[in-house]
Structure 1
Amino acid sequence: MLRKGMFIESVECSDLEFSGRRFLLETDSALHSILASSAENVLVNRVKSRVDCGIPVFRQADEDLQPKSVQELDQRTRIQHTVSQVTGILRDGFEDIKLGKFDIDRFAPAARHIAASLKASPHLLVEVTRLKTKDEGTYVHSLAVGGLMTGLGHLSGLEEETIKELTLAGLLHDLGKLMIPNAILNKTGQLTDAERKAIRSHPERGYMLLKQYPEVSDLVLEICRFHHEALDGSGYPLGLRADQLSLPIRICTVCDVFDALTSVRPYKRAWSNTQALKWMFDRGHLFDKKLILRMGSLFD
Structure 2
Amino acid sequence: MYVERFCGSWIQHPFWSSKMLIEDRQTLNQIKESSVSELVIDTSKGLDVAAPEPAVEESVEDAPASPVEAADPAKMAPPPVEHLQASSMADEVLRAQQIFRRGKQAVKAMFTDVRLGQVVNTAGLSELVTEMNSSLSRNPHALISVARIKTKDEYTYLHSVAVAAMMVGMARALGMSEPQVLEAGMAGLLHDMGKAVMPEAVLNKPGKLTDDEFAIMRGHPGEGHKLLLEWDSVPDSVLDVCLHHHEKVDGSGYPERLAGDNISLLARVGAICDVYDAITSNRPYKAGWDPSESLSRMASWQGHFDPALFKLFVRMLGIYPVGSLVRLESQRLGVVVEQGKESLLVPKVSVFYSIRLKQGTPVTVVDLASEHEKDRIVGRENPEDWPFRNLDSLWLPS
Residues 269 and 121 (structure 1), Cα distance of their counterparts in 2 relative to 1, 3 Å cut: farther
Q: Which residue identity lines up with residue 162 of structure 2 in the other structure?
A: A
Q: What is the distance in 1 between the residues matched to 2:143 and 2:124?
A: 22
How big is the shift at 1:135?
Answer: 4.5
Q: Which one is further off, 175-184 or 140-149? A: 175-184
How big is the shift at 1:127?
Answer: 3.7
How big is the shift at 1:242?
Answer: 1.1
Residues 122 and 279 (structure 1), Cα distance of their counterparts in 2 relative to 1, 3 Å cut: farther
SS of corresponding position for 1:265 = coil
How big is the shift at 1:124?
Answer: 3.2
Q: Which residue of 2 aligns with 1:246?
A: 264
Q: What is the distance in 2 between the residues matched to 1:255 and 1:219?
A: 16
Q: What is the distance in 2 between the residues matched to 1:270 and 1:191?
A: 17
The CA deviation string for residues 121-176 of structure 1, in whole angstroms up to 9 with x for no partner, is 45433443323344432221111101101111111222222221110000000000
Q: Which residue of 1 aligns with 2:163?
A: 145
Unmatched tracts of structure 2, length 5 or more: 1-86, 319-398
The CA deviation string for residues 161-216 of structure 1, in whole angstroms up to 9 with x for no partner, is 22211100000000001111222122232212221111100000000011111121
Q: State how 1:140-289 maps to structure 2 within 5 Å.
A: 140-289=158-307
The structure that has the greater radius of gyration is 2
How big is the shift at 1:78?
Answer: 1.8
Q: Which residue of 1 aligns with 2:142?
A: 124
Q: Which residue of 2 aligns with 1:101?
A: 119
Q: 1:90 aligns with which of 96, 107, 118?
A: 107
Q: What is the distance in 2 between the residues matched to 1:118 and 1:273?
A: 19
Q: Which residue identity lines up with residue 295 of structure 1 in the other structure?
A: F
Q: What is the distance in 1 between the residues matched to 2:288 and 2:144?
A: 11
How big is the shift at 1:262?
Answer: 1.5
Q: Which residue of 2 aligns with 1:27?
A: none
Unmatched tracts of structure 1, length 5 or more: 1-69
The CA deviation string for residues 6-28 of structure 1, in whole angstroms up to 9 with x for no partner, is xxxxxxxxxxxxxxxxxxxxxxx
Q: Which one is further off, 116-125 or 284-293? A: 116-125
Residues 134 and 282 (structure 1), Cα distance of their counterparts in 2 relative to 1, 3 Å cut: closer
Q: Which residue identity lines up with residue 161 of structure 2 in the other structure?
A: L
2:251–2:257 Cα contact (<8 Å) kept: yes
Q: What is the distance in 1 between the residues matched to 2:122 and 2:88?
A: 34
Q: State percent identity of aligned pairs.
A: 38
The CA deviation string for residues 33-68 of structure 1, in whole angstroms up to 9 with x for no partner, is xxxxxxxxxxxxxxxxxxxxxxxxxxxxxxxxxxxx
Relative to the length of structure 2, the TM-score reads 0.54
How big is the shift at 1:266?
Answer: 4.2
Instruction: Please provide the CA RMSD for this pair.
Output: 2.1
1:93–1:107 Cα contact (<8 Å) kept: no
Q: 1:75 aligns with which of 92, 98, 122?
A: 92
Residues 126 and 261 (structure 1), Cα distance of their counterparts in 2 relative to 1, 3 Å cut: farther
2:205–2:285 Cα contact (<8 Å) kept: no
The structure, 1 or 2, with the larger RCO (C-alpha pairs under 8 Å, 6+ apart) is: 1
Q: What is the distance in 1 between the residues matched to 2:192 and 2:226?
A: 12
